Amino acid sequence: MSARHLLSIESLDEAGLKQIIERACAFADGASAPEIDATVVNLFHEPSTRTRLSFERAAGCLGMQSFNIEPQLSSATKGESLTDTAATLQAMGMDCLILRHADDNLIFELAQKVKNLHLVNAGSGVRAHPSQALLDAAVLQARGLSPAGLKLAIVGDIRHSRVAASHLALWPRLGAAEIRLAGPHNMLPDAGATPGVTVHDNMDEAIAGANVVMMLRIQRERIDAEGWPDSQAYFADWGLSRERLSRLAPDSLVMHPGPVNRDVEISSEVADGPNALILDQVRMGVFARMAIFEWLLRGQD
pLDDT value of position 263? 96
pLDDT value of position 129? 98
122-174 per-position pLDDT tens digit: 999 999 999 999 999 999 999 999 999 899 999 999 999 999 999 999 999 99
Strands in 149-279 per DSSP E: 151-155, 178-182, 198-200, 212-215, 253-255
- Alpha carbon separation from 210 to 73, 135, 150, 184, 273 (Å, rounded): 46, 20, 8, 19, 18
51 close to 43: Cβ distance less than 8 angstroms: no
Specify the amino acid at residue 128.
A
| Host H or E run for residue 132 | helix 130-142
Q: How many residues does the chain have?
A: 301
Specify the amino acid at residue 235.
F
Q: Distance between CA 1 and CA 248 in Å, rounded?
A: 50
| Host H or E run for residue 118 | strand 118-124
Residue 301 — very low, low, confident or very high, per pLDDT cuts 50/70/90?
very low
| Host H or E run for residue 59 | helix 50-61
pLDDT value of position 2? 74
Domains, the chain: 14-128+284-298 (3.40.50.1370), 144-276 (3.40.50.1370)
pLDDT value of position 202? 93
Its pTM stands at 0.96
Q: Distance between CA 221 and CA 205 in Å, rounded?
A: 29
User: Average pLDDT over the chain, rounded to whole?
Assistant: 95
Strands in 4-55 per DSSP E: 39-44
Residue 222 — very low, low, confident or very high, per pLDDT cuts 50/70/90?
confident
The rounded percent of the chain whose pLDDT value lies above 70 is: 98
Q: Is the pLDDT of residue 300 over 60?
A: no
pLDDT value of position 1? 54
Q: Distance between CA 238 and CA 271 in Å, rounded?
A: 15
171-201 per-position pLDDT tens digit: 999 999 999 999 999 999 987 788 889 999 9
When pLDDT is averaged across residues 75-101 and rounded to a whole number, the result is: 96
